[in-house]
Amino acid sequence: MKSALITGIGGQDGAYLAAHLLGEGYRVVGTSRDAASDRFDGLRVLGIRDQVSIRSMSLVDFRSTIKVLAEELPDEIYNLAGQTSVFVSFEQPVETFESIVVGVVNLLEAIRILKAPIRLYNAGSSEMFGNTGIIPATEETAIKPRSPYGIAKATSFWQVAQYRDAYSLRACTGILFNHESPLRPERFVTQKIVAAACRIAAGQQQTLTLGDLTVQRDWGWAPEYVVAMHRMLQLEQPEDIVIATGRTHSLEKFVAAAFEAVGLPWRAYVRHDQSLVRPTELACGRADPSRARELLGWQARYHMPHVARMMVEARLASCSLHEIGGAADSSRAKAA
C-alpha cells in the first residue's frame, strides 16, 4: 500500500486529494499545525474524516517537519499548505512569504537529509505569471508576479527546481490556474458570489458588493485538478506542468452564470466597491494546458459555466429548498 502525506489537508484541494488517493488505495496522512483543534470540515463533508490520519506539524518549524517525515516516511508528499488568499497577501505579506517559502524549504531539506525516496508535489499558482494578456501561459512563460502571494509561489517554484537539479530530488510544482468547488470558503470571491446569489434568491440578502468585474481568469473544477496532481508524481521524470481548462472568462461572466443558476438578473443586485480592488490587480489569466494533455493524459471536463452552476446547486442542496424556492419567487417578482 502506497502512503501519501498531505500538508494543508484542511483546505479545498487537500480534502479532494485525500478522497482521490483513498480511492486509489493509498494510506493517507494529513498535517495541521494543531491537529486536535482543526475540525477538517472538508474531510467530513466528503465523508472520509475517519479514513485519514492527522498529525500535528508546523512547516515553518524544521524540527517538527523532519520529525513527522522520519516517522511516517511517506512515498509521496503533496504540499498544499500556506496562506492561500491573494487579497490577504497584500495585508499580510510577511506571513504569506514565510508560510509558503519557508515551508517548502523545510520539506526539501528534510527529504534531502533523510535520503528517503520521497516524491514531492508542490502547489504553485498561475499568480506566478502575472498578467498573461492574450498569449496563454505555458511552462516556458516568463514569471512576473504582481502580488506578495505570487512572489512567494514563484520563490517556492524556483526552490523546488533548484533542489531537483542539485540533489536529484523527485520534486515538481503544479502550476494550477483557478479551480473552485463547494468546499471553497467565502473569503474567495467565487464562493462569495455563489453564497450571495443563493441568499438573495432566498430573501436573506439585498445586494452583492464586488471590486473589478473586468478581471479575467481560467476557472476549473477542483475535484478534477487533484487528479492531475497525483498523475504528476507518477511520472518517471519529475516535471513542472500547467494545469488549467484553457478557457478564460471575466468575473462578470462568472457572476452572470451564478445568478442565472438561481433565476435572477445579476445587474439588479451587484454593486461596485473600489476598496475591494487589489493594489496591483492581475487583469488576465490565460493558460495553455497542452503539456498536461501530452504527459498526463489529463484534460478538464468542466469549464466556468459548469463550475458556477455546480457550486450554486451544491449551495442550494445544503439549504432548505422549500424556503429558497418560495423566497426566489418573491425576489423574481420584485426584480420584474
- The one-digit pLDDT tens for each residue of the chain (336 residues) are 999 999 999 999 999 999 999 999 999 999 998 877 777 999 999 999 999 999 999 999 999 999 999 999 999 999 999 988 887 898 999 999 999 999 999 999 999 999 999 999 999 999 999 988 889 999 999 999 999 999 999 999 999 999 999 999 999 999 999 999 999 999 999 999 999 999 999 999 999 999 999 999 999 999 999 999 999 999 999 999 999 999 999 999 999 999 999 999 999 999 998 887 767 677 899 999 999 999 999 999 999 999 999 999 999 998 854 354 445 455 554 444
**Residue with grid cell 524544521, as numbered in its chain:** 62
Q: Which residues participate in catalysis according to the annotation?
A: 125, 127, 149
Provide the CATH number for the domain around residue 65: 3.40.50.720
Whole-model pTM over 0.85? yes
Kindly state the cell numbers that stand for 166.
542539485
Q: Are residues 87 and 112 in the same domain?
A: yes
Q: Are residues 114 and 208 in the same domain?
A: no
Q: Are residues 205 and 154 in the same domain?
A: no
Q: Are residues 275 and 230 in the same domain?
A: no
Kindly state the cell numbers that stand for 316.
442550494
Kindly state the cell numbers that stand for 278.
487589489
> Which amino acid, one-letter code, is at 63?
R
In a domain, 288, yes or no: no
User: Which pLDDT tens digit goes with each residue over 4-62?
Assistant: 999 999 999 999 999 999 999 999 999 998 877 777 999 999 999 999 999 999 999 99
Q: Are residues 256 and 124 in the same domain?
A: no
Report the distance separating Cα 68 and Cα 58, nearest Å.
Answer: 10
- CA 293, 130, 183, 219 dihedral sign is negative
Task: Please state the domain count of the chain.
Answer: 2
- CA 66, 67, 69, 71 dihedral sign is positive
Report the distance separating Cα 66 and Cα 11, nearest Å.
Answer: 22
Q: Are residues 235 and 123 in the same domain?
A: yes
Give me the count of residues in the chain.
336
In a domain, 86, yes or no: yes
Q: Are residues 34 and 52 in the same domain?
A: yes
Report the distance separating Cα 65 and Cα 81, nearest Å.
Answer: 13
User: Which pLDDT tens digit goes with each residue over 281-292?
Assistant: 778 999 999 999
Q: Are residues 212 and 167 in the same domain?
A: no
Query: Would strands 249-250 and 216-217 be described as parallel, antiparallel, or unpaired?
Result: antiparallel
Provide the CATH number for the domain around residue 321: 3.90.25.10
Q: Are residues 92 and 235 in the same domain?
A: yes
- Supply the Cα-derived Rg of the chain in whole angstroms: 20
Q: Are residues 163 and 271 in the same domain?
A: no
In a domain, 299, yes or no: no
Q: Are residues 171 and 315 in the same domain?
A: no
Least Cα distance to 59 among 104, 97, 96, 89 occurs for 104
Report the distance separating Cα 319 and Cα 316, nearest Å.
Answer: 5
Q: Is 184 exposed, middle or buried (0-12, 13-18, 19+ CB in 10 A)?
A: buried
Report the distance separating Cα 43 and Cα 217, nearest Å.
Answer: 27
In a domain, 65, yes or no: yes
State which residues form the domain around 44: 3-180+221-243
Report the distance separating Cα 223 and Cα 19, nearest Å.
Answer: 9
The torsion angles phi and psi of 150, rounded to 5 degrees, stand at -60, -40
